[in-house]
């Protein structure tokens, strides 16, 4: 090892992990080391630039806490989180960002329930079905839902919101249907007062995300699906700061006039409405 140079070092580092008990760890580390070293060689990374990278991490460490992760955000704005979702997508609805604001234990809401309560903003109906890969309804699937308020903030970021605001869990009926009323969310910026914000500014980039709903849809026998649902007319739909948008996750807002539905959901006619169906991939390959 005493004779390493800028090319042979990489193999020496990879070989140092030869004793790893887990072959998957060895595979991941070997690939990570190989690509990180290729990067440093390709750009001839200088000690000063390396130190700037370390300073970025130290700054990120300082502002990361239980309700804010600058490391997840770094991964997001470099497209790595999105890439992992794209790699994992396998037959069902496409995956998209979990983001940092999911919380366990959201209150249960019955199908057709109201989530908007006293939130400001445009009331809308959201409905659809949970289907399996063959297009059949999935009974008793769980939707775990969360969204930002009209001010672009989640309850964790906003002392004015109760901890249960704008989030729920819902169990579909035998027909796989879900429905709820809520307020239309607004585009918002990811936090840009930290090193990621510095990077975005230096890169000539903005921090905006198009408005979206978050869902985790799960059911026994199926892969859990973490995804987002967007609005096709959003001004930021083609420049999401975290690369979460997929064509297949866009909805069109329609203006609906169903008087009985409106009455049932406490809406005035016409009311804005979106429909989105989720498809869950089977956890084990389906048999012919």
- With beta carbons less than 8 A apart as the criterion, state whether 140 and 219 touch: yes
Does 45 bind its own copies (CB under 8 A)? Our answer is yes
* Contact string 221-260 vs its own copies (x = CB under 8 A): -----x----------xxxx--x-xxx--x----------
Q: Where are the alpha helices (DSSP H) in 44-131?
A: 47-63, 70-77, 80-88
User: Is 37 a residue that touches its own copies (CB under 8 A)?
Assistant: yes
What residues numbered 173-212 form the site for its own copies, per CB under 8 A?
Answer: 202-205
Q: Out of 68, 78, 112, 158, point to the residue binding its own copies (CB under 8 A).
A: 78
d(CA 88, CA 21): 25
* CB 178, CB 128: distance < 8 Å: yes
**Cα distance between residue 252 and residue 205, in whole Å:** 27
Q: How far is the CB of 101 from its own copies (least distance, A)?
A: 15
Residue placing its CB nearer to its own copies in the complex, 10 or 172 = 10
Question: What mask of x and - would describe binding to its own copies in positions 122 to 161, judged by CB under 8 A?
Answer: ----------------------------------------
List the structure tokens of 143: 């939707």
- The interface region with its own copies, picked from 26-34, 152-160, 165-173, 186-194 by CB under 8 A, is 26-34
* 186 in Cβ contact with 166 (< 8 Å): no
Q: In the window 91-110, what residues touch its own copies (CB under 8 A)?
A: 95, 98
Specify the pairing of strand 271-275 against strand 278-280: unpaired
């Amino acid at each position: 090892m005493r004779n390493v140079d800028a090319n042979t070092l990489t193999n020496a580092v990879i070989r140092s992990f030869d004793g790893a008990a887990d072959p998957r760890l060895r595979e991941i580390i070997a690939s990570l080391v190989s690509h990180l070293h290729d990067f440093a060689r390709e750009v001839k990374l200088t000690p000063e630039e390396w130190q700037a990278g370390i300073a970025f991490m130290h700054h990120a460490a300082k502002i990361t806490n239980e309700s804010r992760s600058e490391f997840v955000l770094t991964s997001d704005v470099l497209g790595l989180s999105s890439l992992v979702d794209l790699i994992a997508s396998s037959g069902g609805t496409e995956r998209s960002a979990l983001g940092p604001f999911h919380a366990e234990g959201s209150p249960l809401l019955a199908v057709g329930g109201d989530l908007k309560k006293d939130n400001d903003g445009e009331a809308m109906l959201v409905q659809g079905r949970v289907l399996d890969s063959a297009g059949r309804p999935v009974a008793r699937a769980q939707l775990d839902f969360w969204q930002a308020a009209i001010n672009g903030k989640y309850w964790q970021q906003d002392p004015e919101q109760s901890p249960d605001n704008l989030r729920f869990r819902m169990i579909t009926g035998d027909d796989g249907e879900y429905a709820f009323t809520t307020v239309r969310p607004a585009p918002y910026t990811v936090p840009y007062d930290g090193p990621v914000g510095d990077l975005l500014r230096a890169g000539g980039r903005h921090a905006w995300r198009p408005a979206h709903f978050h869902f985790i849809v799960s059911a026994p026998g199926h892969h859990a699906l973490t995804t987002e649902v967007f609005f096709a007319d959003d001004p930021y739909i083609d420049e999401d700061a975290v690369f979460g948008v997929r064509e297949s996750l866009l909805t069109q807002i329609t203006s609906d006039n169903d008087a009985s539905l409106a009455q049932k959901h406490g809406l005035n006619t016409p009311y804005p409405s979106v429909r989105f169906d989720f498809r869950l991939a089977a956890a084990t390959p389906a048999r012919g």
